[in-house]
A = this chain, B = another copy of it.
Amino acid sequence: MEEHWVSYNSGRHFLQIPGPTNVPDRVLHAMSYPTIDHRGPDFQALGADVLERIKPVFGTTNPVIIFPASGTGAWEAALVNTLSPGDQVLMFETGHFAKLWQNMAQRLGFEPELIESDWRHGADPAAIEKRLSEDRDHEIKAVAVVHNETSTGVTSRIAEIRKAIDNANHPALLLVDTISSLGSIRYEHDAWGVDVTVSGSQKGLMLPPGLSFNAVSDKALDASKASRHPRSYWDWQEMLGPNDAGFFPYTPATNLLYGLREAIDMLEEEGLQNVFARHDRHAEATRRAVTAWGFDIVCANPAEYSSALTAVLVPDSVDPDALRRTILENFDMSLGAGLSKLKGKAFRIGHLGDFNDLTLAGTLSGVEMGLKRAGIAHQSGGVQAALDYLAETAGSAAKVA
């Protein structure tokens, strides 16, 4: 028999990609409870519990649909439940994942229109308002935006986009991807007037990948009744009936749901507002380190900084993937690569999920030592700048009473 623990390094691996994040022991334990009958009373209690308690995490009192699937599946579900073949959907090119979502819309037979951008800004409410105002016949059925673009560390101002749609007096649905923001960055499905919120389990929810979500407004539910896209697995209506009683129309991912219940407990215990404040603070500390090293942050607009990850631009002479390799080999830490347009130009530091000050200090130390070790010109003092900020602001969000 072979052993499956990975090649040995002393101590814990630092998994500082922007997701999957470090799954807390509590969640891993919960996931290894014995699997139970998904049609029995114990499962029913579990199902009812998570379906109810996941709502406030999305900032909604409306239903949240849970699929046994990756986040990508929830993208698909959002589209196929609300749109009909040939429907136009307005998207905004915030980065790699916005492009992937556009590709998917295309492949599924919809007509996405992408407003291009420089990958350093969030979706532009003004540009969206302008485009919608031009669409007098309301051929655009939905606006689809990524809340936190994982490839760039730029967030989009969702409430303002809602306002842009309203200003244009346009009936388009607002679909928002929160895969890498939910449970990390403040988000309000109801208050911000979102129609479908897409999310996944493996980032701020602190679970392994395998669950995905659609929070749905009444307007989205209405649209789903009219939608003519053929669908079965992703069909919301099929879900809602059984969900009312805590059940699912097909076999749910029981053990991941155990993990979800535990993760929601953890979010509740810390308090969602404290969770957001913690992420904000860690992001600020990270940016101070990056700035002190003399590097630019991909996000060009401070109002759109991501609290979940920081994408760092490197000078032309620097190969960020070689740096990541140096860091992985020397310090056993994984960082995120630059994707597509940013390939070879940036790397990404994840600081989301189950995380704390000292792990952030270790993370930034790994980057700084990696820079040194890889012989990359930089100013020292990045870690120090972060520590100064963390020390100064400690206690505010570090510990929950």
Contacts and interface: CB of A to CB of B under 8 A. Distances in A.
B354 A369 contact: no
Contacts of A104: 232
Of listed A23, A209, A333, A395, residue having the most chain B CB within 10 A: A209
Contact of A337 (B14, B39, B229, B258): B39
Contacts of A107: 230-232, 235
A91 B266 CA distance: 47
A190 interface: no
A28 interface: yes
Interface string A293-322: 000000000000000000000000000000
Interface residues of A, number: 114
A208 B361 CA distance: 27
A254 B384 contact: no
Contact of A68 (B6, B21, B73, B250): B73
A363 to B, nearest CB: 7
Given A3-B1, A68-B68, A10 B356 contact: yes
A356 B332 contact: yes
Contact of A69 (B4, B17, B73, B399): B73
Interface stretch (A113-121, A136-144, A218-226, A386-394): A386-394
Given A40-B334, A76-B232, A398-B330, A365 B362 contact: yes
Contacts of A390: 369
Contact of A15 (B37, B108, B381): B37
A85 interface: yes
A345 interface: no
A246 interface: no
9 contacts: A4-B261, A10-B278, A12-B359, A17-B37, A71-B250, A209-B252, A358-B366, A361-B383, A383-B387
Interface of A: 1-15, 17, 20-23, 25-26, 28-40, 42, 67-73, 76, 85, 103-104, 107-109, 200, 202, 208-210, 229-233, 235, 250-256, 258, 261-262, 265-266, 269-270, 275, 278, 328-334, 337, 354-359, 361-363, 365-366, 368-369, 372-373, 380-381, 383-384, 387-388, 390-392, 394-395, 398-400
